[in-house]
Structure 1
Amino acid sequence: MKRLRNPRTGVDQGDIEVFSDFEDNGEMWTGSGPRERRRSVDFSAVFASPPSVHVSVSLWDMDTSAAIRAELVAENV
Structure 2
Amino acid sequence: MKRISASSLGILQGSRVLFSDFATDGVMWTGNGDRESRFHVAFPEPFRAPPAVMVGISLWDMDHRTNMRADLTAENITETGFQLVFRTWGDTRIARIRADWTALGPLRDEDDWDID
TM-score norm. by structure 1 comes to 0.81
State percent identity of aligned pairs: 49
**4+ runs deviating over 3 angstroms:** none
Q: Distance in 2 between matches of 1:73 and 1:62?
A: 19
Q: Distance in 2 between matches of 1:45 and 1:64?
A: 41
> Relative to total residues, which structure has the larger strand share, 1 or 2?
2
TM-fit CA distance, 1:39: 1.2
Alpha-carbon RMSD? 1.8
Q: Verify the 8 A CA contact 1:56 1:72 in the aligned structure 2.
A: yes
Larger Rg: 2
TM-score norm. by structure 2 comes to 0.56
Alignment coverage as a number of residue pairs: 72
- The unaligned stretches of length 5 or more in structure 2 are 1-5, 78-116
The residue type equivalent to 1:37 in the other structure is S
| Deviating more after overlay: 61-70 vs 21-30 | 21-30
Please state whether the residue corresponding to 1:25 is helix, strand or coil: coil
